Structure 1
Amino acid sequence: MVKSYQNQLLEPEVATYPLVQDFMNRAFVTLQADDDIFHAMGVLLQNEVSGAPVVDKAGKLVGMLSEKDCLQVITQEAYHHGPAGGPVSQYMTPKPIFVRSYTGLLNVAELFVNNSYRKVPVLDEKENLVGTVRRRDVLKVIHEHEQKKNQSFNK
């Protein structure tokens, strides 16, 4: 699970960073757990995304499917002589780490530093999938924050 730093005192500069809800992707691709893996690969490629949240019939998060997960399909067939294909649920990462919409930017940055994830799902208090956050999104916000800080300093 994601570490929480809600009870720590924040330095003034840290407090100026936004929350996930301020920069998360609200338009995102999802996959169904029972989708065929080759269909899912096509969805990822067509939408030019490196991975997507996997949801059940009720729309609740049950996993994440990444490009890396998809590569298991061909290696399973080639090296293990298993059948290629099957449902997304067979290849996805189940019970993925997620963040809440009220998680701070630095907490998400730390999550990405300490894990190999490129993207994490965002859930609200009712466990509804409301967005995704990519490493690139965090980097962009930090870069914009530093540019604003430097502009203020140079005035």
Structure 2
Amino acid sequence: MPLTSIRAIDYMTKNPVTVTPSNSLFEAIDIMITAKVSGATVINERREVVGVISEIDCLQAILKGTYHGEIGGSVADYMSEEVDIIGTDMDILAVAEKLIKEKRRRMPVVQNGKFIGQYSIRSILNAVKEFNLK
């Protein structure tokens, strides 16, 4: 069985770390540190993807705030609104290629306009590991 026969959705992270645009910068930092992840998908109350926020975004916000005497704000103030998303119909290699091409560690998975999970480099590596154990 070739790797292209592995459905990526079977290895999608179903409950990844998420934050909302109204979370404070410090809440987002705490959520990411507690979960030991370097970024999170930002979703609204309708479970639509509206952005992503990374540790780099948070660090830049802290530095900028320090220089201007105001550290804080909300996730909406610092998140990246340009988000690469993936649908549910790709095989594992297609997802791997997209992650590499777009230089992303993770990408939100959307079905019918709603956030349902994420693919990450780690989830792809787990799929390959399981494939090789068979």
TM-score (normalizing by structure 2):
0.88
Shift of 1:113: 1.5
State the match for 1:151 in structure 2: none
CA change 1:98–1:117 in 2 (3 A) is: same
Q: Is the 8 A contact 1:123 1:130 kept in 2?
A: yes
Deviation string, structure 1 residues 50-74 (Cα, Å, up to 9, x no partner): 2111012322110111112111122
CA change 1:115–1:15 in 2 (3 A) is: closer
State the match for 1:31 in structure 2: 19
Point out which structure has higher relative CO (alpha carbons under 8 A, 6+ apart): 2
Q: In structure 2, how many angstroms separate the alpha carbons of the residues matched to 1:110 and 1:82? A: 42
Pair 1:117 & 2:104 matched: yes
Q: Which structure has the greater CA radius of gyration?
A: 1
Shift of 1:82: 5.8
State the match for 1:99 in structure 2: 86
Deviation string, structure 1 residues 25-70 (Cα, Å, up to 9, x no partner): 1122221112111111111111222211101232211011111211
Q: In structure 2, how many angstroms separate the alpha carbons of the residues matched to 1:90 and 1:49? A: 20
Shift of 1:14: 4.7
1:140 to 118, 126, 130: 126
CA change 1:109–1:70 in 2 (3 A) is: same
- Which of structure 1's runs of 4+ aligned residues deviate more than 3 A? none
Q: Which runs of 5+ in 1 are unaligned?
A: 1-11, 149-155
Pair 1:67 & 2:55 matched: yes
Aligned length: 134
Shift of 1:142: 1.9
1:46-85 paired onto structure 2 within 5 Å: 46-78=34-66, 80-81=67-68, 83-85=70-72
Root mean square deviation, CA, Å: 1.8
State the identity %: 29
TM-score (normalizing by structure 1):
0.77
Give secondary structure in 2 for the equivalent of 1:89: helix
Q: In structure 2, how many angstroms separate the alpha carbons of the residues matched to 1:57 and 1:24? A: 22
